[in-house]
């Protein structure tokens, strides 16, 4: 097949370019032939892919070069100006509005024998329906395919880790050398001290000898005594004493000279040692700064990688699961059974060894309320944009669920911090109209109780149609200040059911769900959004034998365990993509049905106890948390509507 087109080249010349294909589109190409062994390539978001090169017959677009008299392959920019190719590019863009790179489309058309349907099919197979959404400045094409850069960032992180290990090894070598020089300096100091003590001793002996000589010279000698003395002194003995005295003087001079030389040499060595030590300190400081820069760069790369990973999880609709370790018991003989080696890894110590669990984030027992809140802050603030968000607190009794959600008066939890932050953001956006309303629902022994109603004896009802579930008679209170929030939380704590048992001094015997509805209206564009933040604090799972419950407490414990069991069955059905999900088997799962059906961003915080006595419950909680990380609920929709303007407004 051949044709001709008039195309203006990059040099400005306009000439008639003849283009043709080596093979007609009507002739089916032969099967591709394998030309290279199959290899494996790691692609972030896809895993390890099997890659191989095939020899295949394809159509090639060429133009006739009058200067050389040859048919040459057309450059990609020239080829995109041909109506035949441009028409197919527009077909692909129309089908995939999220794919905006026309050069990438043209290259894909070359590989697919200029078949736009095959290009569309391939991109949908690789990237899914995300390319079907129109391109927006706030949602750029690179963000939609951000996992393409994951492998590059992983390689950079590995290089930084190797360089960091090398610098740490050099620092260890410098410290060892510094220690060796310090030992040598100490040895030389001991030698100098020994020589100095010897000099001091000789000086003392010298002073004693001088005193004796002075004493002898100060007493006059009687001539008779001198005669007698001269007669009694042995000249040979006197000569021997004189020789010994001269030898002692010579030895003293030699020793003094040796001490001076040794001190001078040691002073020189000490100065050299100080210079080398100063140089080593400077090198160590430089290497320490380099290590700090590498660590900062490593943390930055890891943070960017984690942000991309969270973006991908949000696009896929994955349930994010965090784990928070409670504080160890103060009882005598209590030991810990948990270790947190990494911020996404938890080790459970058992008799047979250690068992590893992976979560999206692990908070140690030293983590603050602020650290936990900041990790889920981006999800919470998305309510202002019309998204539904659900934060679920799960764990055994006494593991810290109430502390995480409610907190203390001087150290509030997620509930108060979330509403306070939403109020602050609403005040910053002065051009928008906001309304924040709060309602609180308690599920006690499969009964729904409105905690903000004056008449708490009246049970509210659930109304559902399809995936939509509402509690129409639930009291809603508008909040405008932080004082309103504190008053509501105080009322909730006063009206909710609490009791003490053998396992916990103050244990909740009901599930408490806090609904924060944020309605936003843009007067200029007429766009209205509505987001609901669901903060759910589940009652603790308790063994009846451990709590020693009887009577009404036994009924409460049985109801709690049943609802948590149904919740586990719902998660199991979602994980296995079962056609039937038993939402209606419990009031808890029935109320949470919209959140568990893909209408909300979902985050579950599992709480565990580090005490060995609670190892069995801790294992059950960790197993539950890791199992729901595999669930994909789908990308949540944005609750956004266009308000119709009246004629008067027009």
Pairing of strands 433-444, 600-608: unpaired
Question: Residue 468 — pLDDT band, cuts 50, 70, 90?
Answer: confident
Nearest CA to 518 out of 440, 589, 425, 415 is that of: 425
Query: What per-residue confidence (pLDDT) applies to 398?
Result: 87
d(CA 37, CA 384) in angstroms, rounded, equals 53
Question: Residue 335 — pLDDT band, cuts 50, 70, 90?
Answer: low
Element (H, E) at 20: strand 14-20
Is the pLDDT at 453 greater than 90? The verdict is no
Q: What are the tens digits of pLDDT across the range 29-38?
A: 444 555 555 6
Binding-site residues, please?
A: 395-402
Q: What are the tens digits of pLDDT across the range 558-596?
A: 889 899 999 999 999 999 988 899 999 999 999 999 998
152-217+235-303 CATH pick, 2.60.120, 3.10.260, 1.10.287, 3.40.50: 1.10.287
Structure tokens at 133: 């959404």
Binding-site residues for ATP, please?
A: 395-402
d(CA 563, CA 143) in angstroms, rounded, equals 40
Residue ranges of E strands in 408-522: 433-444, 447-450, 463-465, 468-470, 477-478, 498-499, 507-508, 511-522
* First-to-last C-alpha distance (Å) of the chain: 59
Query: What per-residue confidence (pLDDT) applies to 406?
Result: 92
Domain with CATH 1.10.287 in the chain: 152-217+235-303
Structure tokens at 57: 């017959």
Q: Which residues share a beta bridge with 513?
A: 441, 536
Residue showing tokens 């244990």: 507
Residue showing tokens 């604090």: 537
d(CA 94, CA 346) in angstroms, rounded, equals 48
Nearest CA to 385 out of 496, 267, 504, 529 is that of: 529
Pairing of strands 54-55, 47-51: unpaired
DSSP for residue 82: S
Structure tokens at 220: 């006059």
d(CA 320, CA 314) in angstroms, rounded, equals 9
Is the pLDDT at 370 greater than 80? The verdict is yes
User: Percent of the chain scored above 90 by pLDDT?
Assistant: 27
d(CA 360, CA 347) in angstroms, rounded, equals 15
Query: What per-residue confidence (pLDDT) applies to 459?
Result: 75
Pairing of strands 388-395, 70-73: unpaired
d(CA 93, CA 109) in angstroms, rounded, equals 12
Query: What per-residue confidence (pLDDT) applies to 520?
Result: 92
Q: Read off the pLDDT of each residue in 473-493 and give the average, rounded to a whole number.
A: 91
Domain with CATH 3.40.850.10 in the chain: 319-642
Structure tokens at 581: 């999900």
Chain center to CA of 632: 21
Query: What per-residue confidence (pLDDT) applies to 312?
Result: 63
Q: Which alpha helices (DSSP H) does 233-345 contain, by range?
A: 235-316
d(CA 38, CA 35) in angstroms, rounded, equals 9
319-642 CATH pick, 3.30.590.10, 3.40.850.10, 2.70.170.10, 3.40.50.300: 3.40.850.10
At residue 346's C-alpha, the angle toward residues 345 and 350, to 5°, is 145
**Range scoring the smallest mean pLDDT among 155-169, 209-223, 627-641:** 209-223
**Range scoring the smallest mean pLDDT among 77-91, 99-113, 238-252, 564-578:** 238-252
d(CA 165, CA 159) in angstroms, rounded, equals 10
Q: Which residues contact 391 (CB under 8 A, 6 or more apart)?
A: 376, 379, 380, 414, 533, 534, 535, 536, 603, 605
- Cα diameter, the chain: 152
Structure tokens at 252: 């003293």
Range among 39-43, 437-441, 520-524 with highest mean pLDDT value: 437-441
Is the pLDDT at 25 greater than 60? The verdict is no
Query: What per-residue confidence (pLDDT) applies to 500?
Result: 47
Please state the three-class secondary structure of 367-403 as a single string. CCHHHHHHHHHHHHHHHHHCCEEEEEEEEECCCCHHH
């Amino acid at each position: 097949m051949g044709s001709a087109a008039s195309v203006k080249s990059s040099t400005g010349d306009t000439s008639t370019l003849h283009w043709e294909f080596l093979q007609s589109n009507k002739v089916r190409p032969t099967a591709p032939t394998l030309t290279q062994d199959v290899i494996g390539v790691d692609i972030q978001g896809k895993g390890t892919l099997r890659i191989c090169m095939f020899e295949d017959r394809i159509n090639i677009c060429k133009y006739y070069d009058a200067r050389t008299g040859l048919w040459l392959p057309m450059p990609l920019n020239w080829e995109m100006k041909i109506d035949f190719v441009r028409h197919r590019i527009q077909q692909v863009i129309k089908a995939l509005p999220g794919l905006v790179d026309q050069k990438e489309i043209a290259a894909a058309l070359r590989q697919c024998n200029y078949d736009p349907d095959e290009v569309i099919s391939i991109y949908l197979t690789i990237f899914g329906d995300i390319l079907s959404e129109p391109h927006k400045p706030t949602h750029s094409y690179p963000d939609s395919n951000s996992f393409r850069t994951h492998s590059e960032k992983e390689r950079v992180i590995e290089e930084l880790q190797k360089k960091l290990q090398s610098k740490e090894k050099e620092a260890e070598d410098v410290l060892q050398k510094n220690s060796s020089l310090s030992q040598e300096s100490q040895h030389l100091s001991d030698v100098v001290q020994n020589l100095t003590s010897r000099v001091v001793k000789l000086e003392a002996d010298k002073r004693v000898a001088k005193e004796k000589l002075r004493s002898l010279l100060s007493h006059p000698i009687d001539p008779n005594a001198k005669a007698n003395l001269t007669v009694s002194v042995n000249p040979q003995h006197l000569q021997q004493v004189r020789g010994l005295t001269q030898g002692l003087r010579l030895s003293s001079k030699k020793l003094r000279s040796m001490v001076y030389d040794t001190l001078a040499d040691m002073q020189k060595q000490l100065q050299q040692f100080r210079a080398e030590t100063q140089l080593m300190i400077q090198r160590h400081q430089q290497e320490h700064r380099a290590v700090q820069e590498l660590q900062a760069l490593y943390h930055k790369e890891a943070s960017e990688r984690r942000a991309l990973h969270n973006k991908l999880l949000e696009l896929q609709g994955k349930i994010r699961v965090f784990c928070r370790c409670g504080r160890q018991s103060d009882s005598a003989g209590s030991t810990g059974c948990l270790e947190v080696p990494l911020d996404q890894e938890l080790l459970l110590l058992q008799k047979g060894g250690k068992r590893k669990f992976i979560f999206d984030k692990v908070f140690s027992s030293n983590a603050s309320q602020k650290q936990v809140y900041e990790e889920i802050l981006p999800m919470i603030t998305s309510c202002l944009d019309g998204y539904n968000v659900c934060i679920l607190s799960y764990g055994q009794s006494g593991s810290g669920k109430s502390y995480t959600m409610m907190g203390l008066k001087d150290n509030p939890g997620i509930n108060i911090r979330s509403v306070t932050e939403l109020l602050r953001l609403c005040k910053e956006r002065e051009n928008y109209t906001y309304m924040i309303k709060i309602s609180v629902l308690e599920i006690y022994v499969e009964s729904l109780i409105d905690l903000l109603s004056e008449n708490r004896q009246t049970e509210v009802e659930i109304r559902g149609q399809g995936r939509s579930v509402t509690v129409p008679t639930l009291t809603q209170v508008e909040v405008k200040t932080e004082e309103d929030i504190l008053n509501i939380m105080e009322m909730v704590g006063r009206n909710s059911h609490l009791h003490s048992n053998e396992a916990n001094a103050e244990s909740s015997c009901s599930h408490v769900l806090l609904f924060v509805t944020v309605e936003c209206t843009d007067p200029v564009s007429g766009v209205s959004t509505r987001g609901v933040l669901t903060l759910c604090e589940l009652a603790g799972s308790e063994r009846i034998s451990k709590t020693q419950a009887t009577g009404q407490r036994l009924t409460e414990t049985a109801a709690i365990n049943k609802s948590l069991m149904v919740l586990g069955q719902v998660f199991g059905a979602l994980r296995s993509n079962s056609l039937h999900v038993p939402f209606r088997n419990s009031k808890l799962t029935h109320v949470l049905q919209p959140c568990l059906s893909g209408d909300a961003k979902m985050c579950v915080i599992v709480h565990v106890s580090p005490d060995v006595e609670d190892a069995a419950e801790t294992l059950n909680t960790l197993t539950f948390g890791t199992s729901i990380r595999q669930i994909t609920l789908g990308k949540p929709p944005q609750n956004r509507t266009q308000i119709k303007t009246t004629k008067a407004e027009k």
